[in-house]
């Protein structure tokens, strides 16, 4: 058995965490021989609920869980972390402007970034899930200057998985048969789900998705809007936001950081855009196709970008630049 790793989940009393914690505890993220000290952080009014989650984790009797710590204090939560999964954020309330949402979250992620800087290991891997995820991630990153920028990523894997699933459904295959879809940009309705480099396995042969489907108008229209608006569709149907699928995407994202991506496959995650080969401005937290090896991501190079893609990639970059500008006005005063 190896030494235990310390893994923090914030927003730990919430519904995404409720779907996530069991998977972390049972070894399906960090491996079946990796003991874990699981740290659960939430706000003070949620501590009663969090106690219930703690009881349930104890009752799962998971052999890999060496300890579970429930707290509302950042100095306890962020101490000596190996992995921080930042799920908790201020949700958008009815009648709330996106600007107000950004302001509330800048405060949270500035504080958590500072806590990472002060208490966590410098090698910590930070995954931001709470929305607006890209800009929250950038805020945390800026607030922890001594932790490498490359250690910060935000979740666009849910969008990636949604895109894979839509293609698989359309072709009557399983989503395992679809690979190398890309989510470019912001985890918002401007994201660009791109399948121009995606492959699908049909009758044992790998074919390009465009060739396999022969339905360009669907791929450039309804497919894109379905993926972009899937979160809203789930809320409309369930009256609650995506939790099971979000938790599954977090597991996929973190497992790939930990163990790497399969040969010949790439995945999507929001990362710092500095020096990227696709003309996206530096200093944005933007979703790219990446491969991962030795816990280090690398942007996939040499993908051809047609005019259709270029326009959509620029549009989501523009939104991210605007969000960043708004957030950073608040950052100096937060």
What contacts 296, CB < 8 A, 6 or more positions away? 150
Query: pLDDT tens for residues 212-226?
Result: 999 999 999 999 999
Predicted pLDDT at 334: 57
Average pLDDT of 227-240?
A: 92
Query: pLDDT tens for residues 169-182?
Result: 999 999 999 999 99
**DSSP output for 162-225:** HHHHHHHHHHTS-GGGEE--EEEB-SSTT-EEE-TT-EEEETTEEEEHHHHH--HHHHHTHHHH
Query: pLDDT tens for residues 13-43?
Result: 999 999 999 999 999 999 999 999 999 999 9
Full-prediction pTM beyond 0.95?
A: yes
Report the SS3 class of residue 100.
helix
105 is in an annotated binding site: yes
5-154, CATH topology level: Rossmann fold (3.40.50)
176 is in an annotated binding site: no
The CATH number given to 156-321 is 3.90.110.10
- Catalytic sites, residue numbers: 187
The mean pLDDT of the chain is: 96
The backbone torsions φ and ψ at residue 10, rounded to the nearest 5 degrees and listed phi first, read -95, 165
Give the C-alpha separation, 289 to 185, whole Å. Answer: 10
Give the C-alpha separation, 73 to 84, whole Å. Answer: 15
Pair of tokens at residue 271: 């990362």
Predicted pLDDT at 110: 96
Enumerate the β-bridge partners of residue 5.
Answer: 36
Contact 138, 129 (CB under 8 A): no
Give the C-alpha separation, 58 to 61, whole Å. Answer: 6
pLDDT at residue 71 is higher than 80? yes
98 is in an annotated binding site: yes
Q: 83-86 and 205-208 as β-strands: parallel, antiparallel, unpaired? A: unpaired
Q: Give the number of residues written for the chain.
A: 334
Contact 268, 156 (CB under 8 A): yes
227 is in an annotated binding site: no
Predicted pLDDT at 96: 76
Give the C-alpha separation, 189 to 191, whole Å. Answer: 6
Average pLDDT of 134-157?
A: 98
Q: What is the residue extent of each domain of the chain?
A: 5-154, 156-321
Predicted pLDDT at 133: 96
Q: 65-71 and 36-41 as β-strands: parallel, antiparallel, unpaired? A: parallel
310 is in an annotated binding site: no
92 is in an annotated binding site: yes
Q: 125-128 and 83-86 as β-strands: parallel, antiparallel, unpaired? A: parallel
Starting at the edge strand found earlier in the chain, the sheet holding 199-202 runs 178-179, 199-202, 205-208
Predicted pLDDT at 1: 74
6 is in an annotated binding site: no
């Amino acid at each position: 058995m190896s030494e235990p790793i310390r893994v923090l989940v914030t927003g730990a009393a919430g519904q995404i965490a409720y779907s996530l914690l069991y998977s972390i505890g049972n070894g399906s993220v960090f491996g079946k021989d990796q003991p874990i000290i699981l740290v659960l952080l939430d706000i003070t009014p949620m501590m009663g609920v969090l106690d219930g989650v703690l009881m349930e984790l104890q009752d799962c009797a998971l052999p890999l869980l060496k300890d579970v710590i429930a707290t509302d204090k950042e100095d306890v939560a962020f101490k000596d972390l190996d992995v921080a999964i930042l799920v908790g954020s201020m949700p958008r309330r009815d009648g709330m402007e996106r600007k107000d949402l950004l302001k509330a979250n800048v405060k949270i992620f500035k504080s958590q970034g500072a806590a990472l800087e002060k208490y966590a290991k410098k090698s910590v891997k930070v995954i931001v899930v709470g929305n607006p995820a890209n800009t929250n991630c950038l805020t945390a990153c800026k607030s922890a200057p001594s932790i490498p920028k490359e250690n910060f990523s935000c979740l666009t894997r849910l969008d990636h998985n949604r895109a894979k699933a839509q293609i698989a459904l359309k072709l009557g295959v399983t989503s395992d048969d679809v690979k190398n879809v890309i989510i470019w940009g912001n985890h918002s309705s401007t994201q660009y789900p791109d399948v121009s480099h995606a492959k699908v396995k049909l009758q044992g042969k790998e074919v390009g998705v465009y060739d396999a489907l022969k339905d360009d108008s669907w791929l450039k229209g309804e497919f894109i809007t379905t993926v972009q608006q899937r979160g809203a569709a789930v809320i409309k149907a369930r009256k609650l936001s995506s939790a099971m699928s979000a938790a599954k995407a977090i597991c996929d994202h973190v497992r790939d950081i930990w163990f790497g991506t399969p040969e010949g496959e790439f995945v999507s995650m929001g990362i710092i855009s500095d020096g990227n080969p696709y003309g996206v401005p530096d200093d944005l937290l933007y979703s790219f196709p990446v491969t991962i090896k030795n816990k280090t991501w690398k942007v996939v190079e040499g993908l051809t970008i047609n005019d259709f893609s270029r326009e959509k990639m620029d549009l989501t970059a523009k939104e991210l630049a605007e969000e960043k500008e708004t957030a950073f006005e608040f950052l100096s005063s937060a």
